[in-house]
Each structure stands twice: as C-alpha cells, then as structure tokens.
Copies of this chain bind each other. A is one copy, B any other.
Amino acid sequence: MAGPFEHVLTGLKVLDFTRALAGPTVTRMFAEMGADVIKVESAPNGDLTRRMSKLRGERSLYYVQQNLGKKSLCVDLRDPRGMALIAALVPKVDVVVENFKPGTFDAMGLGYDRLKLLREDIILCSISALGQSGPLAHLPGYDFIAQGYSGVTSLIGDAGGTPYIPPVGMGDVSTGVHGALAVLAALRHRDRTGRGQHIDVGLLDVYYHCHEVTVHQASASGGEIKPTRNGPHLNYICPAGVFRAAEGWVVIMAFLHHWRDLCAAMGRPDLVDDPVFGNDAGRLAHRDEVVALLEAWLATFSSRDAAIEHLHRHQVPASPVLSIEETLTHPHLRARGTVRRITDPVAGSFDIPGMPLKFSEFPDDLPLTAPTMGQHNAEVLREFLGLPEEEIAALEAAQVLQQKPH
C-alpha cells in the first residue's frame, strides 16, 4: 500500500535522507500527493524517531505519523556497497531531500556538487535549524532552538514572566511545508530551463517569516515600540485573545466592526459608541477593564460551550479552547478529516492529523501506510536499479541491507 497512487504529484521520484520531523514533513507531503518517495534509513537503527512514541509494542507511532506512504530502504551507509546503491539511485530520481546538521551530507560524499555529477539537473533540498550559511550554521539545533533565536518565544507569556514554548511541531512542520513548496517551484524552473539547484530552508527563517507586525513595528518606530510578551491578548487590537469562561476558556476576536456584534451579544448596546470603549484605541488603553467586563459576562453562562453558541448566534468570531481529547471527537474536525483515523499494519488503528490540503480532483485521502524498517529493500532495488534477486539476497546476507519487523 505504499503507492504510487494517482494524485497531483504522480510520477515524481524522491530520494529521502531525512530524520525526525521537519525533513520527513517535506517528503510526507510529497507522498500524500502521490509521489514515489524512497526513504533511505541508515542501518542498523534507521530514523531516530523509530524509538519514540512506542504506545503499541515496538512500533513507533511517531514514525508512522511522519512517514506515511514512503518506501523504506535500510542501508549500511558506512559500507561502500551501500553507498554504491545510493550513487546508482540518484540518477533515477528528480529530488533529494536531507536534514543532517549542515556539512554532514557533504562529508558523507553526497553534497550538491557530487549529486550534480550523478545527475546534472538534480534538485537537492537541505533542511536545517539555523540554515546552511551564517555564523551560527554549524550549531546543533532543534525546533525550539530556532524559535528562541527568532524572537517568537519572547512574545509568549505574561509581561516580565516566563516565556512559553508551544509544545507542538509548529516550526518543524511549517518548515517542511516551506521546503516542499521550494522543491515544486524549483521543479517548475527545471521544466522550463533544464536546470536543477540546491535549496536551503532553515527553521529560524521560517519562524521569523511568521512575524506579523512586530518586526516592522520595532524597526520603523526606531526602537520606540518594543514588542514583548504581554499576556494572552494581542497588543494592537482589542478585545482579541483568550478569556476565562465557566468551566473553560474561550478565544474572542471582537475588535473593529465585530465590537458592535459583541455588544449586541452582551445586551450592552450602550457600549457600541461609548467614548472609551467604542473604539480599539480606547479599549486597548483600558484593556484590563474590557477583559474584566467580558469575563464577568462569560461567567453568567452555564458552560463554555453555551457562551460560544450565544456568541456564534451573534456572528462574533469566537472559539472554545478545545483540549486535544475534545478535538478527537469534534464533529467539524471529523467531517473535514482534520483528524483522521489510520490503520497501521503493525500497530492497528489510531488518530493522527489529517492531510491539510484538499484537492477537488482527489477528494479522498490516499490509503497510505508507513513502512517497517527496510520493508522495500528488494522492491526498490529491483524496480529502480533492475538488481537480480540473488544480488539483493547477497546484500541482505552481508547486512549491507537490513530489515526489522516494526
């Protein structure tokens, strides 16, 4: 069931040296859209995430979630016979993706210049934490290391208090999607000009890319505006943030023209054109009072959800702060496939995030599964390189190729 299936990227061939999260997201996005992805895993252990989230025996649910639809080729990369297989595969693919620490892929003999000798129009996509260039490029990195450098962490929390990190793969996954976009753009360029290239996408750049107003505010004000964390509310419109409700929390965004609708919902038409509360500047200057007003009103409802229902009837942009548990059974998230149930051949059924791109020509998610380690050794070498069964068997016997049942 590893494909290839008919979808938007059918026919695209990718050689994937990625591990963990950001890199594997690039190639999973390709697999979710029908590309043929060969994931090269380094024997004897494979992707380091095969050790994580073992909630069902020896199978890593982390690995499953991030490697749907890929073929696993598990090779000893320190053995010259293993590296010979890789060198033979490069000319057969359109794209190579890697997310080693900058310099490592070069040191393995697989840098862009070497790949270009193997296939002149190859597209190499390198994913890293802090980028392939600049004084910090050599540092070891993870999502939150890049987040700290980006200034994003400094914006989350109370004024003067501990900064928080969002414990999700926001930077990693978004970086993967940025990388996938760059690869498809480079492929379009190749189609037009015949030229390949090397792409460099770093998590730090991706996090920084997400700054909405803070960078230009700090810069254009000549340092007068010093953006920092300031509680669970935005600092340039009001009300906009997280509010306490009966038995829970809600997000309300009722600035500008939405204020009128919120006043109607609260039964306070007198506040629509109030000299203080009737505009965003006044509300920002009296934010504590606005928050107290809203929270006192929210407390009059029997529950968080009753308040949300009332706000929605008045067209006020509002949402409950759902727990992860609540998202799993929410009718909208189920109807959209935002949360999807998969059935893994080893670990059985469980939920993971859905495919976030919806194409009218392909309304159903592809029935993808993740590979066990080395599951496609023989298939890949037969189909891509035409290797005879005896030779494959000899490589298995010599442990140049390896396999595990999970």
Which A positions have Cβ atoms within 8 angstroms of B? 7-12, 21, 29, 33, 52-53, 55-56, 61-62, 64-65, 112, 130-137, 139-142, 144-157, 162-170, 172-174, 177-178, 180-182, 184-189, 191-192, 195, 197-202, 204-206, 208-221, 223, 226-232, 234-236, 240-242, 244, 249-251, 253, 258, 312, 315-328, 330-333, 335-336, 338-339, 347, 350-354, 356-361
| Contact between chains at B208 and A354 (CB < 8 Å) | yes
What would be 14 A-B contacts, judged by CB atoms less than 8 Å apart? Answer: A52-B236, A140-B317, A145-B319, A155-B324, A156-B164, A164-B242, A167-B230, A168-B211, A168-B214, A187-B188, A201-B356, A204-B338, A205-B336, A228-B324
Could you tell me the distance between the alpha carbons of A340 and B153 in the complex, rounded to whole angstroms?
20
Chain B residues near A182 (CB-CB < 8 A): 357, 359
Q: Given known contacts A55-B217, A55-B221, A319-B145, is B29 in contact with A356 (CB within 8 Å)?
A: no
| Contact between chains at B199 and A323 (CB < 8 Å) | no
* Additional A-B contact list (14), CB under 8 Å, known A150-B322, A208-B354: A62-B212, A134-B333, A136-B332, A144-B253, A150-B338, A165-B234, A168-B210, A174-B210, A181-B181, A185-B357, A186-B361, A219-B352, A227-B323, A228-B324
Closest Cβ–Cβ distance, residue A186 to chain B (whole Å): 6
| Contact between chains at B134 and A332 (CB < 8 Å) | yes
Could you tell me the distance between the alpha carbons of A204 and B332 in the complex, rounded to whole angstroms?
10
| Contact between chains at B318 and A351 (CB < 8 Å) | no
| Contact between chains at B173 and A209 (CB < 8 Å) | yes
Chain B residues near A335 (CB-CB < 8 A): 133-135
Could you tell me the distance between the alpha carbons of A211 and B319 in the complex, rounded to whole angstroms?
19
Chain B residues near A151 (CB-CB < 8 A): 322-324, 326-327
- CB-based closest 6 A-B pairs: A148-B319, A169-B212, A219-B351, A148-B251, A184-B184, A220-B350
Closest Cβ–Cβ distance, residue A154 to chain B (whole Å): 5
Q: Given known contacts A139-B317, A244-B162, is B184 in contact with A188 (CB within 8 Å)?
A: yes
Q: Given known contacts A152-B168, A168-B152, is B322 in contact with A360 (CB within 8 Å)?
A: no
Chain B residues near A65 (CB-CB < 8 A): 215-216
Q: Given known contacts A148-B250, A251-B165, is B208 in contact with A333 (CB within 8 Å)?
A: yes
| Contact between chains at B350 and A219 (CB < 8 Å) | yes
Could you tell me the distance between the alpha carbons of A324 and B213 in the complex, rounded to whole angstroms?
11
Chain B residues near A153 (CB-CB < 8 A): 242, 249, 251, 321
| Contact between chains at B195 and A361 (CB < 8 Å) | yes
Chain B residues near A56 (CB-CB < 8 A): 220
| Contact between chains at A360 and B212 (CB < 8 Å) | no
Chain B residues near A162 (CB-CB < 8 A): 231-232, 242, 244, 249
| Contact between chains at B189 and A354 (CB < 8 Å) | no
Q: Which residue of B lies closest to A55 (CB)?
A: B220
| Contact between chains at A145 and B317 (CB < 8 Å) | yes
| Contact between chains at B356 and A214 (CB < 8 Å) | no
Q: Which residue of B lies closest to A218 (CB)?
A: B324
Closest Cβ–Cβ distance, residue A155 to chain B (whole Å): 5
Partner pick for A178 among B52, B217, B235, B356, CB 8 A cutoff: B356
